Structure 1
Amino acid sequence: MENSSTEILELSSLPKEKWWGDNCLYQVGGFWLLPEFVQSIDRVIKHFKPLPSDIILASFPKTGTTWLKSLLFSIVHRSSKDRLAIEHPHELVPILEVQIYTKSNEPLITTPSSTNNHFCQIFSTHIPYQLLAETLDSSECRVVYVTRNPKDTLISTWHFVNKWEKTKEESWPFEVAVDKFCNGPFPYGPYYDHVMGYKKLSMERPSKFFFVTYEELKNDTKTHVMKLAEFLGCPFEGEDVEEQVEDVVKSCSFEVLSNHEVNKSEESLIGSKFKVPYNSFFRKGAIGDHENYLCDVTIERIDALTREKFHSCGFMYGI
């Protein structure tokens, strides 16, 4: 998938596998993608050229993306953070493959001149680094990546998928979700490969790639908000730094965000053919929710994978 190519990637040319019922995932570059997004992901890979001033929030689905979007928007656009009360985080920080490169090679956004150094755009994507390497490596844009405990990620994804319109007729069985997560054919999976792609980059190029876990953010939000501001080149300054940071943290808390009317809405993402209501992005935001769903045998099965995929590479996380 070269950036210079204009050929449309056809589903019929790709390996596919059922992940439940009649629903299939398609494999591109070793990762399993929803058919609705295969071509838009291909467009992003081939045509998206981020500016040096751009910020990309990358993540595996259901790992804290919505919350980090709110934090990043509030950090970068502090004078406009009140927009979070009336606009959904996914509209303020749009998803490249879901809301922007949806129908053509031309993005559904107005891109500023490369000479406008004061304009900062924030985008998000679930595309693995392994597929987006050429795009990110050729740009000076900054990338923030968030990950989450694999067991909590699994549970959050299972709940999220079962809110989709297509699951009204046939829900995604929990046992099937567990098997698919462990075996790889999972939306944007394999999870472990996705995480490690960005983790390795953050270690090799920390000035460009900022890697944070959902648990770190939850346990010490203030410290990580300050670190993110420094990384993004817009540090908090003045005698009231503590108050500024506290204001951002409070306005982006789960309790505050989930109570805004826009985030309780049944409306769907603007510009997306994938109809998911705004309110489906706010469920619990808790750490350790998997303990309410997974038996000891399943926990050990996932932990064994975590040791193999993370711990063996020196990333001591996930258990």
Structure 2
Amino acid sequence: MATTNEDEKILYQEDDDFKKLITSLPREKGWRVPDIYQFQGFWYHSLMLNCFFESQKHFEAQDSDIVLATFPKCGTTWLKALVFTIVNRKKHSPFSQEHPLLTSNPHAIVRSLEFDIFLPNRTPDLSSLTTPGIVATHSNFGLLANSILETKCRIIYLCRNPKDTFISYFHYAKKSRFNYYEGISSIEEGVDMFCKGMIPCGPIWNHVLDYWKASLDSPDKIFFVTYEELQSEPVSMLRRMADFLGYSFSDEEEESGMVDAIVKLCSFEKLSNLKVNVDGKAGYGLEYKHYFRKGGVGDWKNHLTNEMVERMDAVVEEKLQGSGLMEAKAAFSKSNA
């Protein structure tokens, strides 16, 4: 990926309509790039927003496709690894020493709908996607391509405790900033912007709520799961995801230890220590190791003051109140929010 200034230059040269739009939107200081822009209540950097538009206009989902939707820094890498392995376990056994995950980063295997598919080419050849096609997106629900919603393709939405999400993004932004842009100078500044909703793809509560409500309306279409559930109950959650996707484990697979093998292969401990993820880089130069920090739950306790916690909890509780999400998912309960 080019530096920020070059990215914006390319966007403006290629699409005058987008240039006109972006200059008309509310703008604030960004996290990894100098500016973020507000569109329909959400904040994005310009490259991200343009990619969402292109995906919305041109992506033609198939009934067999699988869409992995996440808010940034909620376990996207892990989800890609798990779903790829579940779906392709007959072709690539998790017991094999030649499994693709052992030599390729999950982001190189399951591509981002926006950045890997539509960023390089506004009208890409989608025939290169495997069947079923597995793609990932950080898009809010309202910007998903119509074909995703109108076909029988399935969506898995993974979210995370907001405070852990913030800490993960804060550290990621410092390590992966483009063009040496310093971004957010302090955690205090980051908390302030987070509570105002000004985090890329944020506000997080709107992103989560839209998918939550959609999952209640269409449980056969959208599987809503939290990072914390995957951490505490990986085996049972894998079974549920496999059932949802139409790839249930057979009795023979259960007896062979297939589910446990997938959990182990896709674990943070396994993936983070592989050579490809220690030394490798993505096509745009970002080191894969930046996708692996701690992979745990509750790390926010090591970074946030009581005052920060109280402020973040108050705004999240206010925004989620009445949705049923805090009662249904422990990651968003009053004691953890």
Structures share fold, TM-score greater than 0.5:
yes
Q: Distance in 2 between matches of 1:85 and 1:109?
A: 26
Please state which structure has a larger fraction of its residues in helix: 2
**What's the CA shift for 1:21?**
9.6
Does the residue aligned with 1:155 lie in a helix, a strand or coil? helix
Counterpart selection for 2:209 from 184, 193, 196 = 196
Residue identity matched to 1:95? S
Q: Does 1:136 align with 2:171?
A: no
Residue identity matched to 1:250? K
Residue identity matched to 2:23? S
Aligned residue for 1:3?
none
Q: Does 1:13 align with 2:30?
A: no
Q: Distance in 2 between matches of 1:30 and 1:140?
A: 28
Give matches, 1:153-172, under 5 Å: 153-166=165-178, 168=180, 170-172=182-184
* Sequence identity (%): 40
CA contact (8 A) 1:45 1:131 kept: yes
**What's the CA shift for 1:308?**
1.2
**What's the CA shift for 1:169?**
5.4
Moved more, 29-38 or 283-292: 29-38
Unaligned runs of 5+ residues in structure 1 are 1-5, 113-117
Residue identity matched to 1:52? D
Q: Does 1:77 align with 2:91?
A: no
Counterpart selection for 2:308 from 292, 298, 303 = 298
Output one character per residue of 1:174-218: Cα deviation in whole Å (capped at 9) or x when no partner. Answer: 112111111011111110000011111111111010000000000
Output one character per residue of 1:251-302: Cα deviation in whole Å (capped at 9) or x when no partner. Answer: 011110111111112512x3x5xx4211100110010000000011111111
CA contact (8 A) 2:33 2:178 kept: no
Q: Distance in 2 between matches of 1:221 and 1:134?
A: 32
CA contact (8 A) 2:177 2:183 kept: no
Residue identity matched to 2:117? I
Moved more, 62-71 or 303-312: 303-312
**What's the CA shift for 1:137?**
2.1
TM-score normalised over the length of structure 2: 0.85
TM-score normalised over the length of structure 1: 0.90
Unaligned runs of 5+ residues in structure 2 are 1-14
Does the residue aligned with 2:68 lie in a helix, a strand or coil? strand
Give matches, 1:76-225, under 5 Å: 76-78=87-89, 79-80=91-92, 81=94, 82-107=99-124, 109-111=126-128, 119-132=131-144, 134-166=146-178, 168=180, 170-173=182-185, 174-225=187-238
> In the superposition, relative to structure 1, how do residues 109 and 264 fare at CA in structure 2: closer, same or farther (>3 Å)?
farther
Counterpart selection for 1:61 from 58, 72, 78 = 72
Does the residue aligned with 2:51 lie in a helix, a strand or coil? helix
**What's the CA shift for 1:167?**
7.3
Does the residue aligned with 2:175 lie in a helix, a strand or coil? coil
Q: Distance in 1 between matches of 2:324 and 2:195?
A: 20
CA contact (8 A) 2:66 2:153 kept: yes
Q: Does 1:250 align with 2:264?
A: yes
Moved over 4 A (4+): none
Aligned residue for 1:115?
none
Aligned residue for 1:265?
279
Output one character per residue of 1:8-54: Cα deviation in whole Å (capped at 9) or x when no partner. Answer: 42222332212369711012222111122222111001111110000
CA contact (8 A) 1:63 1:147 kept: yes
